[in-house]
């Protein structure tokens, strides 16, 4: 069975500091991995995804994530936090066998950015 | 930019009542999903739907739940007899294809409160 663990339900950084949100997954098949962001009172918006190919994936708003199979990780980073990055971030995994679109989510990490 | 819409944004109902949550997926998308998030918990998959049939459903999606595409634009989730534990945020999503690599686009959610 697939699962996702996000380390840290709350992360606080200063504006301009590095953002690192951790995600580890468990999957018996090659996974597809996603990061979604949820701003207050809005739906989940895709930041980036890994399917195949290059393991370093770049997304919107300056975020990127690296798929590390040996570590079963897909951590999200941004070199310099901005106040507008304050939101909840969700890591998710789906089947890598093209037999279903079900997303399995982590519990989410709330990012706050201090001025 | 096309987006998934959901109505109502909030709904309060009495235990035992029927509720229908409505979604309008992105117009050229063929696959539709419902997820829910109980306060403080993970986003959980409920059901996926394609070609007027359920593709996959979770253990949560019992006989009290049903989905329907009543016309060419709407996608609905019905809860026949609501329970207190059905209180949650319900998200609709849609995608072009069912493959695990496809991006699911989420609506803003309906917050359901069962009293």
Q: Give B57-99 pLDDT, tens digit per residue.
A: 999 999 999 999 988 789 999 999 999 999 999 999 999 987 7
End-to-end CA distance of chain B: 37
Interchain contact, B95 vs A101, CB within 8 Å = yes
Interface of chain B against chain A, CB under 8 Å? 4, 6, 31, 33, 35, 41-45, 48, 55-56, 58, 91, 93, 95, 97-109
Query: What Cα–Cα distance (Å) separates residue A114 from each residue in A38, A50, A107?
Result: 18, 30, 23
**B109: number of Cβ within 10 Å:** 26
Provide the sign of the torsion angle of the four alpha carbons B47, B53, B55, B56, taken in this order.
positive
C-alpha closest to that of B26 among B47, B5, B12: B5
Which of helix, strand or coil describes residue B104?
A: coil
Report how far residue B50's alpha carbon sits from residue B52's, in angstroms, rounded to the nearest whole number: 5
Q: What are phi and psi of A62, to 5 degrees?
A: 80, 5
Q: A95 falls in which pLDDT band (50, 70, 90)?
A: confident
| Cβ atoms of residues B2 and B103 within 8 Å | no
Query: pLDDT per residue over A42-58, tens digit each?
Result: 889 999 999 988 999 99
Average pLDDT, chain B: 93
pLDDT score at A10: 96
C-alpha closest to that of A33 among A45, A23, A20, A21: A23
Which of helix, strand or coil describes residue A37?
A: strand
Residue B115, pLDDT above cutoff 70: yes
Measured CA angle at B96 (ends B95, B99), to 5 deg:
80
Q: A97 falls in which pLDDT band (50, 70, 90)?
A: low
**B16: number of Cβ within 10 Å:** 10
Nearest Cα of chain A lies from the Cα of B81 at a distance, in angstroms, of 25
Q: Which residues pair with A58 in a beta bridge?
A: A64
Residue A65, pLDDT above cutoff 90: yes
Residue among A41, A95, A107 whose CB faces B100 most closely? A95
Mean pLDDT computed over A68-95: 95
Average pLDDT, chain A: 91
């Amino acid at each position: 069975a697939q699962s996702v663990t996000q380390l840290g339900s709350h992360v606080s950084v200063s504006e301009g500091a590095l953002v690192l949100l951790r995600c580890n997954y468990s999957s018996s098949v090659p996974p597809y991995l996603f990061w979604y962001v949820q701003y207050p009172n809005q739906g989940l918006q895709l930041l980036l995804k890994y399917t195949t190919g290059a393991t370093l994936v770049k997304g919107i708003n300056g975020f990127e994530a690296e798929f590390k199979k040996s570590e079963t990780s897909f951590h999200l980073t941004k070199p310099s936090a901005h106040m507008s990055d304050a939101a909840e971030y969700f890591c998710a995994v789906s089947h890598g066998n093209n037999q279903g679109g079900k997303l399995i989510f982590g519990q989410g990490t709330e990012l706050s950015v201090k001025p | 930019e096309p987006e998934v819409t959901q109505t109502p944004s909030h709904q309060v109902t009495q235990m035992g009542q029927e509720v229908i949550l409505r979604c309008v997926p992105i117009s050229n998308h063929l696959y539709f999903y419902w997820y829910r998030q109980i306060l403080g918990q993970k986003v959980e998959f409920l059901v996926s739907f394609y070609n007027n049939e359920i593709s996959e459903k979770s253990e949560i999606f019992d006989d009290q739940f049903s989905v329907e595409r009543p016309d060419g634009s709407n996608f609905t989730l019905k809860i026949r007899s609501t329970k207190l534990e059905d209180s949650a945020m319900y998200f609709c999503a849609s995608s072009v294809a069912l493959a695990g690599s496809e991006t699911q686009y989420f609506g803003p959610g309906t917050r359901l409160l069962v009293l």
